[in-house]
Structure 1
Amino acid sequence: MYLLGSLYHMGQHAHGSLVQRDFVKASLYLGNAAIRGSVLAMAKMAEIKLAMRQYREAMNWAQIYGHYERLLPKSKHPHDGYAAELVQRIADKLGRSAMPGIMNDVNSFIALNDAKIRAGTDSKFATEKLAPVPKSKAYLPPSGRFAPRAGFADCLLAFNADGSLADVWLLDSVPDPELGVTLRRYAQEMTAPPMAAGAGSALRYAWMPIMYDDGRYRAAVVH
């Protein structure tokens, strides 16, 4: 559900996409993925509601994302610069006066769905042990500037039997497609362990979320 929702979220901004951007369909699939344990789906729900100018719902999802991403094992913990920036972008539109009511909504959501979310949470983001080849150039967006905000992208990688990369597709990116173009270049440096002798030559596929944190902000719990 997460990947299908991501395709509808990115829509025509993904090269070769077969679907148009559809926030309604994206919300359907990503919302279901979120309550089944997909922490990244929670972030995308916040981005969708922000884009639709539903600021209260956006902040609900941003706070839910912030709660659960902090519960992931430290080795699987996303950089929280993105969480901080997400909350700030929504707060710029919403203001702070609504926060007490929003936190009541968030606590009600957690009480209702926590068991299902914890049962479904999978922090193993890739099925292959991927490693980048040595870097020779800085990662720059198409504009020639370093990406100005934190975010993440979903890529689908195809590997040859010898572990070399056959192809990579950008499936989705938040908060904007331009960041995804930059992060796709990082994915193009991945390799995978070679297949065992006699295992065949079929391509292997791996989903790879790539987090980017520009280091400007950190999330903090406000009491």
Structure 2
Amino acid sequence: MKRLLPLVLLFALAPAADARADDALPLCAEPDASGLPEDPDADPARRLETLARWEQEGPTTTQKLRMGALYRLGRKHPAALLDADLKKARELLEGAALDGDLTAMASLAELELAHGDPMSGMVWAQLYAHYAQIRSPSRQRTYQADLIRRAFAALPSDQRTDDKVTGSVMAVLERSGPRIEAGFAGQGNDADTTGPRCRPLSEAFPTELVSSKRVRLSGGHNTVRRHGLNQPGMALFRVHVAPSGEVSQALVVESLPGPVAGEALKASVLRLRFNAVADDAPTRTVLLPMIYDDHSVRIRN
């Protein structure tokens, strides 16, 4: 029997903020949480209105990822809001990936692997691993390694395939590398709010994880068995943090390779603790990716 399995938190992102904001500006309004597309308990009509507004206004990078994830998993997404639409998912996720969103790169890899294009899946898997190591280096890269392993398993094992993968990855880097790098540099400006300039809530009330970044899987082997969590996975959560530092809500934004990771990891996210702030502070929101590490595979440097 495997030992109790840890998770790895890669990073927590505060709400997208204007990097030029200063203390003289008024605080931004707290985001409206009543129509979040990922909230299965919210009114479906309000959630669809939110998506329609994003499409009309032109989605930000993060919104492209959020919409693409809903279309990729369809009714299997924990939000169960939309029917699967691979064309829309691919378009949205590729836009987010080329804007520098790491999760979107992994999402594209999973989409292509699941739907019969292992070469494209491998290219995006390699790009994801490449940029993830640059942006968030970590020894705990089990999901990255498993993604690449699965892509290799779906391709012919020969030099011709290796050369094609290398050539395709280099072509993307040459063609789109500058755009991806620019996206990394501008991620602090990917705001969900519109209107006059204001001071982001994340500046006035920063959010810092006080729990260990390596935590035990809530429920242990019972969770593994109940959800069929039989391979490394990653889930991106939208986490709402109360002034006390407790997690008041955790919504699955994306779950990789499929919906199981998000469902199985949610209880662990709800147990996390962040720094406390003033009692009258608004609810803070962060995007938090969590990796399920079963020690089954590693990337060798």
Q: Which amino acid aligns with 1:79?
A: Q
Q: CA deviation at 1:79?
A: 3.0
Match runs of 1:107-126 below 5 Å: 107-121=170-184
Which of 103, 106, 123 aligns to 1:60? It is 123
The CA distance in 2 between the partners of 1:131 and 1:21, in whole Å, is: 37
Q: CA deviation at 1:78?
A: 7.5
Q: CA deviation at 1:213?
A: 2.0
The CA distance in 1 between the partners of 2:68 and 2:289, in whole Å, is: 14
Gaps of 5+ in 2: 1-63, 189-201
Q: Summarize the Cα distance change of 1:159–1:69 in structure 2 as closer, same or farther, 3 Å threshold.
A: closer
Match runs of 1:1-223 below 5 Å: 1-74=64-137, 77=138, 79-97=140-158, 98-121=161-184, 128-132=207-211, 137-138=219-220, 140-141=222-223, 143-144=225-226, 147-199=229-281, 202-220=282-300
Q: Which amino acid aligns with 1:143?
A: R
Q: Summarize the Cα distance change of 1:111–1:152 in structure 2 as closer, same or farther, 3 Å threshold.
A: same
Q: Summarize the Cα distance change of 1:83–1:142 in structure 2 as closer, same or farther, 3 Å threshold.
A: closer
The CA distance in 2 between the partners of 1:208 and 1:147, in whole Å, is: 20
- Tell me the equivalent position of 2:46: none
8 A Cα contact 1:161 1:194, kept in partner: yes
Give TM-score, length-normalised by structure 2: 0.63
8 A Cα contact 1:69 1:78, kept in partner: no
Aligned-pair identity (%): 25
**More off after superposition, 135-144 vs 155-164:** 135-144
Higher normalized contact order (CA 8 Å, seq sep 6+, divided by chain length): 2
Q: Summarize the Cα distance change of 1:185–1:140 in structure 2 as closer, same or farther, 3 Å threshold.
A: farther
Q: What's the secondary structure of 1:84's corresponding residue?
A: helix
8 A Cα contact 2:125 2:147, kept in partner: yes
Give TM-score, length-normalised by structure 1: 0.83
The CA distance in 2 between the partners of 1:19 and 1:182, in whole Å, is: 21
Q: CA deviation at 1:176?
A: 2.2
Q: Which amino acid aligns with 2:124?
A: W
Gaps of 5+ in 1: none
Q: What's the secondary structure of 1:162's corresponding residue?
A: coil
**Aligned length in residues:** 216
The CA distance in 2 between the partners of 1:131 and 1:140, in whole Å, is: 26
> Whose Rg is larger?
2
